């Protein structure tokens, strides 16, 4: 029953996505490709990090970043608009479905969008440099990353009282994470005190998992567990906020 | 008589301010009930409590016997709602909007297809089924919302300002639809700013002011209580004084007592707006 109800919510968002898939794919690739050109080819030419060329090093980081942004915005921004602008979220709250189904349905579109964007970027990156591998650990890490940031998006959208709040959340949380989350540099190179701060960011662990899986390095199982814990915290947060907000 | 909506001492406070204050209300099965009140009177809060979106601070409410707090899942299957604002998904087609709602109410594929076609025919929108919501007129959107609210065959239809912002012709079309739904057995609970809408549609009206019901009865009962005939006396400064009388004969006798120099005297039938203004001291839209 929960799966069917969650799919009902997801279905509507999938219909919208289907109608806009061409435009979505084009716009979703702009930002990661620009990062790739600026950091991979421009700044990182001739540099090597942790035994790999900087280009190979940065691609998994940009995949993590793409997964984060697309999942967060795919779930959060849509929910924020549905809740505060279209007011159509109330229709879901008034339907005889469980809160769990509602949360899953709203988060799943973030996961779908995150996976589409990341896979599209992987294809572009593979065309340029086929030097990394995509195995089960890479896919599990990517899926967990999308799930975690989709739920973070849902949580932010449920807490936001205006569209401005979502933008503020992006500036205060996502933007610092973009540059500090181990995307463009190795966390092993930073001082110990800063390292502690960086490990408190979910993107750091996602980048480490995806990078290790893509470059066939020793896999950081602790980081995979950390991403799972972040997902759990965001999921519990969503459940509590939704419960507090309604009967 | 079977009761569709019942509230007992229903109260909702926001930061110490009572939006709904000790509200006792009863709406019978099959009725068309009009819920009138100025802005901020507590209409929307009452609807939010009845539709499980807001938890009351105290008191209780039931829809078709189900408690809106402890039996919210059952309550959600009993009502359909047309909200004041456009709450359709604008990026979906008319059919997809109905399909989504049908899925949320657990209709299977065959049932969904049959019910959507039936309702699109009912609201006369079959030929617009595959149009995106943004491509249809305001009146059509309102009809889609009505069709959506009916998709799971609710026994109660809650309409929050169903014709606000619509032209007179479209408004009458919506009225016909509401009458038709009511004659098909659906109980209708309606809030409106348009007094003539309440007079045209409702068999009972409740006037809410500052969170309580201050008057309840049929439009005729409320008018009779005030006086069926109104005399308007317009002064030079364009201030109008209203006097109410039980019938035209008494009103005419009163007019004869006025000085012969008095001008701008209008004698007419009282309406619900007179009742409303006398009770609340405000026009409906204030």
- For B283, which DSSP code? -
Contacts of B76 in chain A (CB under 8 A): 94-96
Provide mean pLDDT across the span A66-92. 93
Total domain count for chain B?
2
Residue of B nearest to A88 (CA): B87
**Three-state SS at B196:** helix
The share of chain A scoring above pLDDT 90, in percent, equals 73
- ipTM of predicted assembly, 2 dp: 0.88
Whether residue B279 lies inside any domain: the answer is no
Give the pLDDT of residue B286.
Answer: 43
Tell me the pLDDT band of A39, cut-offs 50, 70 and 90.
Answer: confident
- Domain shared by B126 and B160, yes or no: yes
Please provide the size of chain A in residues: 247
C-alpha A49/C-alpha B62 separation (Å) is 66
For CA atoms B237, B238, B243, B247, the dihedral sign is positive
Cβ B97 vs Cβ B140: under 8 Å:
no
Q: Which one of A6, A23, A81, A88 would you mutate to disrupt binding with B, by most B Cβ within 10 Å of its Cβ?
A: A88
In a domain, B121, yes or no: yes
Same domain, yes or no, for B76 and B115? yes
- B96 part of contact set with chain A, CB < 8 Å: yes
Residue B1 three-state SS: coil
Cα distance between residue B8 and residue B16, in whole Å: 20
Task: Say if residue B284's pLDDT is above 60.
Answer: no
pLDDT at B261: 64
Query: How many Cβ atoms from other residues are within 10 Å of residue B39's Cβ?
Result: 11
Confidence of residue A27 (pLDDT cuts 50, 70, 90): very high
Q: What is the mean pLDDT of residues B86-104?
A: 95
Does residue A247 have a pLDDT over 70?
no
Choose among A8, A88, A247: nearest Cβ to B89: A88
Band (B260; pLDDT cuts 50, 70, 90): low
Contact indicator for A211, A54 with CB cutoff of 8 Å: no
* B261 inside domain: yes
Put simply, the answer to whether B91 touches A93 (Cβ < 8 Å) is: no
In this structure, chain B runs to a length of 286
Please state, as a whole number, how many other Cβ atoms lie within 10 Å of the Cβ of residue A37.
Answer: 12
Residues in chain B within 8 Å Cβ distance of A24? none
- A15: which chain B residues are within 8 Å (Cβ-Cβ)? 91-92, 96
Mutate to test the interface with A, among B12, B47, B74, B91 (most CBs of A within 10 A): B91
Do A32 and A62 contact (CB within 8 A), yes or no?
yes
Contact B101 A95 (CB under 8 A): yes
Three-state secondary structure call for residue B230: strand
Same domain, B164 and B232: no
pLDDT at residue B127 in the model: 96
Q: Chain B contacts of A92, Cβ < 8 Å?
A: 104
**Token pair recorded at residue B180:** 């038709």
φ, ψ for residue A158 (rounded to 5)?
-75, -30
User: Does residue B76 belong to the interface with chain A, where contact is any CB pair within 8 Å?
Assistant: yes
Binary contact (B83, A87; C-beta < 8 A): yes
Average pLDDT taken over every residue of chain B: 91
Q: Do A87 and B87 touch (CB under 8 A)?
A: yes
Name the strand (E) or helix (H) holding B209: strand B204-209
Pick from B156, B187, B218: which residue ends a domain? B218
Instruction: Grade residue B262 by pLDDT with cuts at 50, 70 and 90.
Output: low
Using CA atoms, how far apart are residues A149 and A230, in angstroms rounded to an integer? 9
Q: B278 lies in a domain?
A: no
DSSP states along chain A: -HHHHHHHHHHHHHHHHHHTHHHHHHHHHHHHHHHIIIIIIIITTT-EETTEEHHHHHHHHHHHHHHHHHHHIIIIIHHHIIIIIS-THHHHHTSS--HHHHHHHHHHHHHHHHHHHHHHHHHHHHHH---S---HHHHHHHHHHHHHHHHHHHHHHHH-SSHHHHHHHIIIIIHHHHHHSSSSS-GGGS-HHHHHHHHTSHHHHHHHHHHHHHTTPPP-HHHHHHHHHHHHHHHHHHHHHHHHH--
How wide is the angle at C-alpha B204 spanned by C-alphas B27 and B1, nearest 5°?
40
Cβ–Cβ contacts within 10 Å for residue A134, how many? 15
A247/B87 CB distance under 8 A: no
pLDDT at position B282: 58
**Number of folded domains that form chain A:** 1
Please give the average per-residue pLDDT across B82-110, as a whole number: 95
What confidence score (pLDDT) does residue B285 get? 45
Are B68 and A247 a contacting pair at CB < 8 A? yes
Residue B81 maps to a domain = yes
Average pLDDT over residues B189-217: 91
Q: Is A95's CB within 8 Å of B54's CB?
A: no
B124 within a domain of the structure (yes/no): yes
Q: Which domain holds residue A55?
A: 2-245
Residue in chain B nearest A99 by alpha carbon: B73
- pLDDT mean over B61-65: 97
The answer to whether the Cβ–Cβ distance between A90 and B89 falls below 8 Å is: no
Do residue B136 and residue B255 come from a single domain? no
Residue A52's pLDDT is 80
Q: Which residues of A touch B91 (CB under 8 A)?
A: 15-16, 19
| Predicted local distance difference test score (pLDDT) of residue A50 | 75
Domain that holds residue B128: 3-218
Is residue B283 assigned to a domain? no
SS3 B176: helix
User: What ranges in chain B are assigned the alpha helix state H?
Assistant: 43-50, 72-78, 94-104, 109-122, 138-150, 168-183, 195-201, 219-226, 248-257, 272-280
CA distance B157 to B145: 11
Give the closest-approach CA distance of B154 to chain A in angstroms. 12
Total-model pTM:
0.88
For B87, which of A7, A8, A91 is closest by C-beta distance? A91
Nearest to B104 among A15, A82, A92 (CB): A92
B236 shares a domain with B148: no
Q: How many angstroms separate the Cα of B180 from the Cα of each of B153, B188, B203?
A: 14, 11, 14
| B263: pLDDT strictly greater than 70 | no
How many angstroms separate the CA atoms of A84 and A88, rounded? 8
- Segment B32-47 shows an average pLDDT of 92
Provide residues of A within 8 Å CB-CB of chain B: 4-5, 7-9, 11-12, 15-16, 19, 82, 86-88, 90-97, 246-247
Question: pLDDT band for position B132 (50/70/90)?
Answer: very high
Closest chain A residue to B55 measured between Cα atoms?
A247
Which two three-digit tokens encode residue B36? 């009138």
- Average pLDDT for chain A: 92
pLDDT at A86 over 90: no
CATH number of the domain to which B125 belongs: 3.40.50.300
Q: Same domain, yes or no, for B265 and B190?
A: no
What pLDDT, on a 0 to 100 scale, did the predictor assign at position B233? 87
């Amino acid at each position: 029953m929960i799966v069917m109800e969650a799919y009902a919510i997801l279905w509507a968002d999938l219909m919208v996505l289907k109608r806009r898939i061409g435009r979505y794919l084009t716009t979703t690739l702009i930002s990661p490709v620009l990062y790739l050109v600026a950091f991979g080819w421009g700044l990182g030419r001739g540099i090597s990090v942790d035994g790999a060329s900087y280009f190979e090093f940065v691609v998994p980081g940009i995949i993590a970043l793409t997964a984060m942004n697309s999942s967060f915005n795919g779930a959060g921004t849509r929910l924020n608009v549905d809740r505060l602008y279209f007011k159509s979220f109330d229709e879901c709250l008034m339907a005889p479905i469980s809160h769990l189904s509602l949360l899953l349905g709203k988060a799943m579109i973030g996961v779908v969008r995150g996976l589409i964007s990341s896979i599209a970027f992987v294809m572009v990156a593979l065309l340029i440099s086929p030097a990394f591998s995509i195995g089960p650990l890479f896919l599990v890490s990517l899926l967990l990353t999308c799930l975690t940031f989709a739920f973070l998006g849902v949580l932010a959208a449920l807490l936001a009282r205006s569209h401005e709040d979502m933008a503020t959340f992006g500036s205060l949380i996502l933007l610092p994470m973009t540059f500090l989350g181990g995307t463009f540099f190795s966390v092993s190179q930073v001082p110990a005190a800063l390292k502690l701060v960086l490990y408190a960011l979910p993107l750091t662990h996602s980048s480490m998992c995806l990078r290790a899986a893509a470059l066939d390095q020793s896999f950081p199982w602790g980081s995979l567990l950390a991403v799972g814990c972040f997902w759990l915290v965001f999921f519990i947060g969503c459940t509590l906020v939704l419960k507090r907000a309604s009967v | 008589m079977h009761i569709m909506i019942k509230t007992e001492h229903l109260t909702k406070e926001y930061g110490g301010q009572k939006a709904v204050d000790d509200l006792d209300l009863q709406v019978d099965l099959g009725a068309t009930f009009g819920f009138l009140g100025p802005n901020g009177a507590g209409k929307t809060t009452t609807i939010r409590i009845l539709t499980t979106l807001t938890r009351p601070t105290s008191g209780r409410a039931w829809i078709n016997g189900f408690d809106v707090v402890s039996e919210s899942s059952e309550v959600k299957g009993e009502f359909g709602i047309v909200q004041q604002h456009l709450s359709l998904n604008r990026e979906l087609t008319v059919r997809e909007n109905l399909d989504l709602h049908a899925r949320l109410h657990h209709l299977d594929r065959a049932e969904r297809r049959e019910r959507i076609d039936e309702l699109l025919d009912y609201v006369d929108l079959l030929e617009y089924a595959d149009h995106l919501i943004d491509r249809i007129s305001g009146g059509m959107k309102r009809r889609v919302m009505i069709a959506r609210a009916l998709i799971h065959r609710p026994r109660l239809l809650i309409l929050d300002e169903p014709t606000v912002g619509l032209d007179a012709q479209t408004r009458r079309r919506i009225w016909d639809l509401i009458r038709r739904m009511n004659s098909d057995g659906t109980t209708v609970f309606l809030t409106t700013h348009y007094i003539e809408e309440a007079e045209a549609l409702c068999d009972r009206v409740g006037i809410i002011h500052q969170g309580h019901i201050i008057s309840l009865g049929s439009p005729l009962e409320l008018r009779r209580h005030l006086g069926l005939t109104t005399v308007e006396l317009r002064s030079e400064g364009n201030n109008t004084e209203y006097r109410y009388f039980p019938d035209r004969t008494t009103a005419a006798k009163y007019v004869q007592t006025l000085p012969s120099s008095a001008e701008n005297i209008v004698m007419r039938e009282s309406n619900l707006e007179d009742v409303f203004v006398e009770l609340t001291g405000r026009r409906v839209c204030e």
